[in-house]
């Protein structure tokens, strides 16, 4: 990996924050305005998540349909304007499962073509091998265990993971394996708070909860969920900090009404012209032969 540009939050600083007990903030971002707003708010990490499949691209499934090309486009858009936050390229389903070689190849694309600082993989199991290979290629990896949406069918649906002692112990072992593979951080999704807290204590790398409780080193939420852009049922772990969908809909309704009534645009939102110049323009226009030809055509 090349040296981060001046002002970019370095990965070692995340580990320092963990040791100091300072919470780390991550949020998803999919476009330049979202990235700019997040940076202005002091967000530490921007995750260009494969949740874009649903919240941006309109698919019914949250993850599986999105392609590498689509994720590269979104990642480039975010990386183009992000200065301080670490940009995480979320590798979509099918981009790393086949082999270590293909995983490394696609991870390289996220860095070279997408401008990502790091990449994220879901699951443990074969992902441990993939993470190790990608890290060996010089690309930092963020792991993700618990509820992993790309493999939700195998997990029995979108359900809390680690609710039994046996499954909780499996999660602990998965977390340790991913840390040993070289992951610089770990997302814990829909995991009981007590289990997340124990995993966080056991690991030297930072953990990020999304439904993982307050014991994690940081938190991550989907941009559209926390701003109230997503409508309908939301997971238990989502907290709305705004209700922008209502404001946007009201604004668009008002705009449509004013256009149809003629109230918009008015003089305030139109450009004027010097009276003498206008008179000269009208006189010259009347002398144009085509104007008279058109009049005769429609008479």
State the catalytic residues: 189
Dist. CA 81–CA 32, nearest whole Å: 6
Structure tokens at 115: 């401008």
Tell how far CA 94 is from the center of its chain: 19
Structure tokens at 80: 């183009």
Task: Of 116, 114, 146, give the one whose Cα is nearest residue 210.
Answer: 146
Cβ atoms of residues 71 and 63 within 8 Å: no
Cβ atoms of residues 145 and 171 within 8 Å: yes
Q: How many residues are listed for the chain in this entry?
A: 299
């Amino acid at each position: 990996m090349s040296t981060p540009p001046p002002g970019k939050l370095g990965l070692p600083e995340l580990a320092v924050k963990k040791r100091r007990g300072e919470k780390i903030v991550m949020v998803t971002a999919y476009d330049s305005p979202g990235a700019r707003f997040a940076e202005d708010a002091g967000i530490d990490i921007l995750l260009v998540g494969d949740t874009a499949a649903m919240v941006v691209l309109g698919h019914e499934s949250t993850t599986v349909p999105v392609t590498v090309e689509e994720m590269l486009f979104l990642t480039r858009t975010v990386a183009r304007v992000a200065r301080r936050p670490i940009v995480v390229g979320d590798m979509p389903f099918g981009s790393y499962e086949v082999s270590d070689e293909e995983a490394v190849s696609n991870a390289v694309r996220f860095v070279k073509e997408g401008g990502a600082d790091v990449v994220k993989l879901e699951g443990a199991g074969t992902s441990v091998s993939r993470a190790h290979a990608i890290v060996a290629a010089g690309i930092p990896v963020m792991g993700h265990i618990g509820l992993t949406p790309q493999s939700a069918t195998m997990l029995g649906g979108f359900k809390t993971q680690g609710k039994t002692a046996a499954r909780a112990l499996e999660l602990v072992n998965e977390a340790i394996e991913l840390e040993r593979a070289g992951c610089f951080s770990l997302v814990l999704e829909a995991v009981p708070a007590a289990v997340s807290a124990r995993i966080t204590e056991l690991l030297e790398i930072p953990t990020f909860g999304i439904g993982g409780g307050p014991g994690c080193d940081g938190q991550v939420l989907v941009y559209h969920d926390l701003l109230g852009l997503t409508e309908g049922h939301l997971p238990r772990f989502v907290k709305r900090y705004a209700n922008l969908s209502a404001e946007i809909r009201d604004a668009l309704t008002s705009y449509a009404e004013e256009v149809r009534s003629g109230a918009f645009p008015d003089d305030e939102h139109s450009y004027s012209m010097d009276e003498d110049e206008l008179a000269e323009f009208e006189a010259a226009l009347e002398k144009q032969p085509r104007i008279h030809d058109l009049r005769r055509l429609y008479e």
